[in-house]
Amino acid sequence: MVNPPIEVANQGIQAIRNYFRQIEKGKDTLFEAKLIIVGEGGVGKTTLARRINNPKCPLPEEKESTQGIDIQQWNFVMEGQEKDFRVNIWDFGGQEIYHATHQFFLTKRSVYAVVADNRQESPNLPYWLEIVELLSNKSPVLLIKNEKKDQKVQINEKELRARFENIKESLPTNFAADNRGLTDIINNLKFQLQQLPHVGTTLPKTWINIRNELERLFKEERKNYISLNEYYKICEDMKVTDRTFQLEISQFLHDIGVILHFQDDPISTLYNTVILHPEWGTDAVYKVLDEPTVINQLGRFNNTDLGNIWNEAKYETMQPQLLELMLKFKLCYELPKEKNTYIAPQLLTKEPPEYEFNTTQNLQLKYEYEFLPKAIIIQFIVEMSRLIDESKVWQKGVVLKRESNGQITYAEIVESYNRREINIRLDGEDKREFLGIITNKLEEIHESYNQLQVKALISCNCEVCKDSQKPYLHSLPVLKNFLNKNKTEAQCQKSGILVPIWNLIGETIGEDIYKRITSERERITNQTNNFFNDSPSTESPNPPESPQPTPLHPIERRNLQVGIIVSILTLIVTFCGLVFTNIWNPFKPSNNNNQNQQTQPSLTPSPTPSPSPSPSPSQP
CA atoms within 13 A on the CB side of 602: 15
Percent of the chain, pLDDT > 70? 80
Q: Which domain holds residue 330?
A: 6-10+203-344
Mapped onto helix, strand or coil, the DSSP state of residue 33 is strand
Tell me the mean pLDDT in the region 193-217.
90
* Residue 265 within a domain: yes
Same domain, 236 and 108: no
Same domain, 36 and 176: yes
pLDDT tens-digit series, residues 427-439? 998 888 898 899 9
Q: Which of 137-141, 239-243, 396-400, 518-522 has the lowest mean pLDDT?
A: 518-522
Same domain, 408 and 470: yes
Same domain, 52 and 145: yes
Same domain, 103 and 246: no
* Residue 610 within a domain: no
Q: Is the pTM of this model over 0.85?
A: no
pLDDT band at 522, cuts 50/70/90? low
Same domain, 443 and 472: yes
Instruction: Check residue 519 and give its pLDDT.
Output: 59
Same domain, 187 and 214: no
* Residue 609 within a domain: no
Same domain, 45 and 173: yes
CA dist 226 and 392 (Å) reads: 41
Same domain, 86 and 101: yes
Of 513, 387, 517, 509, the C-alpha closest to 436 is 509
pLDDT band at 400, cuts 50/70/90? very high
Answer whether 334's CB lies under 8 Å from 383's CB.
Answer: no
Same domain, 504 and 467: yes
Mapped onto helix, strand or coil, the DSSP state of residue 114 is strand
Report the number of distinct structural domains present in the chain: 4
Same domain, 174 and 207: no
More confident residue, 512 or 336: 336
What is the domain-level CATH number for residue 466?
Answer: 3.30.310.200
Distances (CA, A) of 330 to 131, 138, 364, 410, 411: 18, 25, 27, 24, 21
* Residue 395 within a domain: yes
CA dist 426 and 585 (Å) reads: 80
More confident residue, 8 or 574: 8
Same domain, 327 and 209: yes
182 residue type, one letter: L
Last residue of a domain, one of 199, 221, 250: 199
Last residue of a domain, one of 287, 310, 344: 344
* Residue 515 within a domain: no
